[in-house]
Amino acid sequence: MSFDALKWYALSPLWQGDHQVVTTGLPHSQLAPPWQILLLGDGSPTCHLKLLTGEPIEVDVIDMSSIGLDSDGAPPEIEAVPKPRIRRQVWLKTASGQRLAYATSWWDALHVDEYLQNRSLPIWDSLSRLHTELYRDIQGIYYGHSEPLELAFEEKGPFWGRHYLFWHNGQPLTLIYEVFSPYLTKYLGETALQ
């Protein structure tokens, strides 16, 4: 798949929920409990994916771009991340090569190297090695389409995604937007209960 590093891949939402939906959860007929744990829980997605698949999770960094003062079409919470900014895009995949998630994150360009010393590591691994205390503040959840992600995941949409802020020492560290592959139904079951 060719990748256009000038943009990132947001879902075209069929449905979306805000912070209130995140705190109360969704009806199981809309999103099954295992999927709610993955999407609405505050745990590390790379850790969850490793536990689900039984394989190490690798990061394929596909973009590290300076976006300067631009909001980059990101969720509004990007305004909490100091400027100038860098956008990082990755695939989270198993060691055997199965893509499980796509993530875009926005960082303070002046401090990104302090936190991502090894850019090939998942964010959580990098921050854990530094013993960085974090709070994952989930702001929104999405259900929608993306043709580029269909091609990359080799799975038909729609897809589930979310965005959140990582906070450290009372300050926003990064904004992250993640989309998960329907391949995960192999481990989590169907996304909705009938």
Domain 25-66+78-188 class in CATH: alpha beta
- pLDDT over 70 for what percent of the chain? 85
Q: What is the C-alpha to C-alpha distance for residues 140 and 17, in angstroms, rounded to an integer?
A: 6
Q: What would the pLDDT profile of 79-128 be if each residue is shown by its tens digit?
A: 999 999 999 999 999 999 999 999 999 998 887 766 665 555 555 554 45
DSSP H helices in the chain? 19-24, 33-40, 45-53, 112-115, 123-129, 147-153, 185-188
Tell me the domain boundaries of the chain.
Answer: 25-66+78-188
> 41 is written with which tokens?
């829980």
Please choose, from the candidates 28, 32, 26, the residue with its C-alpha nearest in 3D space to the C-alpha of residue 141: 26
pLDDT over threshold 60, residue 1: no
Q: What would the pLDDT profile of 138-181 be if each residue is shown by its tens digit?
A: 999 999 999 999 999 999 999 999 999 988 777 888 899 999 99
Answering whether pTM is above 0.75, one says yes
Q: What would the pLDDT profile of 36-61 be if each residue is shown by its tens digit?
A: 999 998 888 888 999 999 999 998 98
Other CB atoms within a 10 A radius of the CB of residue 81 amount to 22
